[in-house]
Structure formats: structure tokens, C-alpha cells
Amino acid sequence: MRILAYILIALIVALQYPMWLGKGGWLQVREYDRQLAQQREANAKLKARNDALDADVRDLKTGSEAIEERARGELGMIKHDEVLFQLQSNGAAAKPASTTPSKAPR
């Protein structure tokens, strides 16, 4: 009777192996679900980027404001009879020269 019990246990283990570790087993399905979630997240990011680019293209095709904005921002262009003022921040301003005479070594 013990031999029959061991044979049945071995048979159950042999049948369970493909379900857990085989080609379509639980572990493989779990890994595929993780990869699918990562791919969906990447696709969502790319879709948002594509939607933003599509909106930019539509703006450039239909309106002149977007073209003017890009010309001003990226190329530094100004309109005819327009005055451009460039402001420097305090850190970027030129430092005044020192007024104290430097002493030469004697």
C-alpha cells in the first residue's frame, strides 16, 4: 500500500510540474503579465508624447502664432521696427575692474 501512495504522490508531482514551471505555467504567466504592464506604461508615455507632437504640428500648419513663437524663442528673431532688450542676471553681469593699484614686488 505504501508503494501505491508513493506512486500516486509522484504522479501528482509530475502533473503539477508543467502547471508551475512549464511553458505556460503560473510563473511564466506572471512574468508575461509584468512585461505587459511595463509595455502598456511605455506605450502610454509614447502616446502622450505623440499627442503633444501632433498638437504642435496642427498649430504650425494652421496658425502663424506658433511659427512666430518658435522663431522668437529658438532662433532669436524679432519683427521689423521692433526693439529687443536683453537683461542679464546679477551673476552673469561683468564685474567692475578693481580701482586699487596693484603693487609690484620690490
Q: What is the pLDDT of residues 24-46, one digit of tens each?
A: 788 888 999 999 999 999 999 99
- Within a domain: 9: yes
- Within a domain: 46: yes
Higher pLDDT, 68 or 57: 57
- Within a domain: 59: yes
- Within a domain: 32: yes
- Within a domain: 67: yes
- Within a domain: 77: yes
- Within a domain: 87: no
Total number of domains constituting the chain: 1
Average pLDDT, rounded, for the chain: 82
Structural domain for 49, as ranges: 2-81
- Within a domain: 43: yes
- pTM of the shown model: 0.49
Sign of the C-alpha dihedral computed for residues 97, 98, 101 and 103 taken in this order: negative
